[in-house]
Amino acid sequence: MPAPGIAGNGSARAESLGARIAQVPATIKHAFATFLAVPTIVVGGFLLLAIITYVLDQRDESQRDPLGQILQSHLFADAESTTQTLGTIAGGMITITSITFSLLLVALQQSAGSMTHAVFDQFLRRSLNQVYAGWFIGITLYILITLATVRPEFNPIYGATLSLFFAITALYVLLLLIYSAIEQMRPSAILESIHDHTLRAREHQHALLRRTRRQAQRKGPVRCTVRAPADGFVTAIDLDAIAKALKAAPRAEIALHLPLGGYAAFGDPLADVRAAPADDIADLEQAIAGAIQLERERDLERDPSFGLEQMETIAWTTISTSKQDPNPGLEAVRNLRDLLARWAVADEEVAEESDERLAIVYPDDVLERLMGSIESLTVVASESMQHHVYADILRGLAVTLDRLPPPLARRTEELVLRSLAGLGDHVLTAELDDALTCIADALEAAGLGDGASAVRAARAELATSVGKLNSRATRVPSE
């Protein structure tokens, strides 16, 4: 009889194996959603073309059109020469494909080393890169299939001609791939791509915001709490399924705990249901559990918070003393500020247009996460003494402040006040001096006089260090 500990370990391993097997469909789905779908379609097109050309080549030589006869007389006179030509082309394509993709992976790894793993994510998501991958793999398979059909009595003229044509075009496409890859690895291109994906994800999210509430309207005890059956990020919420179940409990209200992109560990609460004692909520509870989709991988196409985190991570890495390359950080700051300016207006319009809402409370936190990302970058700018990054953040907030709704304006004031704690790490350059003046004037114009006074006082205190020998420890006089 096995010892209890051994039996327990075996049971745990079995459960772990079962969990991994259960994750296989989700992993495959994610792979096709992010990369494999387009290459698979392209490869499938080449396989279909191989079948078509094989059927055309099956025709008798006497039925072959003039073009086929010319090709046979000048290029592929017999099966032996066709075999040699296709073998050479196939070997060359395999070599080119393997070397090219190996070098691309090395280049991506080097780029990711300076700008985080977001480089991989953006490279895989670009449709052009997916077409390139499918193109090279598809051409290689097409040539190999055509080569496999050659027999002493069968000479595939059309298949061999297309193989030669594809091999020639592949060499030029290789140049396009190299140029495109280099262009895509520029920090500005990576951040622009993340910015655009994040913007589209937020627009996609507006449909969810229009149908849900921000504040709970029903009081009373919680009838039930729906908990996470596994760990993962919230990647989708099926409002239609929940709305259908709400018809059976019209007085119920659902309060979601996590927004899209939120992480839940096993057993964490996902939603609370408040309802009248007479309401039957059994079906509603099951509908909520099935409507909230949890996955290990986040989806940038539907999760704007993921894009914010990627831009923040790139900026933090490049601004910090570990890299000392502020240009990508400045690009990230400007992209974040553009999102702030766009979303401040768009979210107000969504709130005005939303008349019919479901009894679902959705905890939207995208704007707060955006402000948190900007706030984090003020911290790392102080850590590395990147005064121009901090100045750019302050100038951007000053320019945007008059367009922000009152809650966001107050959050901006709070952000600026919190960042003043690290102001003593900077040298008061002319650029930083001007930025502090701009943000103080903007706060005052917005009716936030206390914040403006605090900024001016901090600037005046830092100004006492001008013209004197100081270190980070002595730049600001202690009380």
| 20-29, 88-97, 271-280, 461-470: least confidently modelled range | 20-29
| 281-290, 346-355, 388-397: least confidently modelled range | 346-355
Question: What is the rounded CA–CA span in Å between residue 399 and residue 445?
Answer: 11
Please answer whether residues 317 and 113 qualify as being in contact, where contact means their C-beta atoms are separated by less than 8 angstroms. Answer: no
| Token pair recorded at residue 80 | 């032996």
Residue 1 confidence class, pLDDT cut points 50, 70, 90: very low
Q: CA torsion 346→347→350→351, rounded to 10°?
A: -140
For 84, phi then psi, to 5°, come to -65, -45
Question: What is the rounded CA–CA span in Å between residue 203 and residue 211?
Answer: 14
| Token pair recorded at residue 379 | 């911290």
pLDDT tens-digit series, residues 200-258: 999 999 999 999 998 888 887 888 999 999 999 999 999 999 999 888 888 889 999 99
pLDDT tens-digit series, residues 331-383: 999 999 999 999 988 777 776 655 578 899 999 999 999 999 999 999 999 98
CA-closest candidate to residue 73, choices 162, 155, 168: 155
Asked whether the predicted pLDDT for residue 109 surpasses 90, the reply is: no
Please answer whether residues 246 and 358 qualify as being in contact, where contact means their C-beta atoms are separated by less than 8 angstroms. Answer: yes
Place of tokens 């102080």: 382
Question: What is the rounded CA–CA span in Å between residue 162 and residue 442?
Answer: 66
